[in-house]
Each structure stands twice: as C-alpha cells, then as structure tokens.
Chains A and B, each alone.
Chain A
C-alpha cells in the first residue's frame, strides 16, 4: 500500500539552527500537510499546500516556518532559528482531494532542540 515517508526519523539540533524536514507524499495526491505534536499535547495543524502554494496555515505557522515542493516529489518543512519549544513530532500528510477524503500520515520526524 502506498505510504507517506518522512526523513529524518529523529533529529537533534542546537537552538538557533535551521532544520529541514523532508517528506515524500503518496504519488497521486495533490494536497499536502504538516502537523506537529508537542509531547503530552494534541496533534496540531501547521499548514496545507496545494498547487505549489500554501492554501491554509495556523497561527503556529509564522515567519519562522516555510514549506516547499522543490522537485515534484519531495515536500519539505523548514524551521529557521529553532527554539526549545519547537521540539515536537512533526507529521507530514497527504490526500487526493481537499476535504472529506482520507488523509494519510507519515511516521513522523521527532525534532529535539537543545
């Protein structure tokens, strides 16, 4: 069964460094998402992406964050100048259509900022 893949599975970074999390969505999907879960909290929406642009973003997704689909298969989340509170599990997801359709999640990238 097709799946969403994410790399790295775990990354430790120094505060203030930039991090890029990578995702390969399911190949025929058109909508892409990033979510995160801070330890002990609910899974939170960050951003959705369609047709090479952001379609929706949450308040969390400020200027520190950016997304890109650089080559037609990868979908990346860049976090600039990381802070301790950015430590979380970051999930990439994709879906065929916009709403009411199954959204498939990757295994997550665990980011630890020290």
Chain B
C-alpha cells in the first residue's frame, strides 16, 4: 500500500500572507507527482505535473518544488487571496497507471 501524506490538514491564513504545505510520498518507483486545487462542488483543477527531481513549476502566485530522492514536494502560495481558499491535493503516480492521493490540505484565506 502506497502512503501519500499531506501536512498540515488545514491552514488558516490572512489575506496577503504567503504559505506553503507539504506532500510526502514513497521515494521508490517514482514516475510523477500531481497537484490539484479543489473547490467544493467543482472538479479538481490540475495545477502541476512534476516528473524530474529538482523540478520547480509556477502558475501565477502558486509554485511547487519536487524532491524525488527524499520523497517530498512543497506547494507555495505567495500573497494569498480569499479566492485561493480550497483543498489542495497531491497525488503520486508510480510505474502503474493509477494516482494515489494524499488527504489534502484545506486552506482558508481570511480577508
């Protein structure tokens, strides 16, 4: 059984704060690490697919890094806005065809 863990489970920040959270995953048989942003009653929105150790990807104020040797990825949000409030999911893709998800980090940004 593959274990993908995210921390923290939930996070409250003030508008304008920068924040980050962690996804840890098995360091063996790594193929890709996916990040999703999921708002209630909407479909999970794909943010990044990361495949190479040391990868850094950026989309607007959101960025992510990847360390496959130690099995973790960080997601950063710079200058959080209320519209960033969502659950952020990471998912590990090994040599098979399936994604193994973490439990998510629920972010709430207060105006």
Interface residues of A (CB under 8 A from B): 3-4, 31, 33, 35, 42-45, 48, 55-56, 58, 91, 98-108
Contacts and interface: CB of A to CB of B under 8 A. Distances in A.
Interface of B: 4, 31-32, 34, 36, 41-44, 46, 49, 51, 89, 91, 93, 95-104
Contacts of A102: 34, 46, 49
14 contacts: A42-B4, A42-B104, A43-B99, A44-B101, A56-B97, A58-B98, A91-B44, A98-B97, A100-B32, A102-B49, A104-B43, A104-B46, A105-B43, A105-B46
A42 B97 CA distance: 18
A102 B91 CA distance: 11
Contacts, number: 57
Contact of B89 (A43, A106, A107): A43
Contacts of B34: 102-103
A4 B43 CA distance: 9
A42 B101 contact: yes
Given A45-B98, A104-B43, A107-B43, 4 more contacts: A45-B100, A91-B43, A91-B44, A102-B46
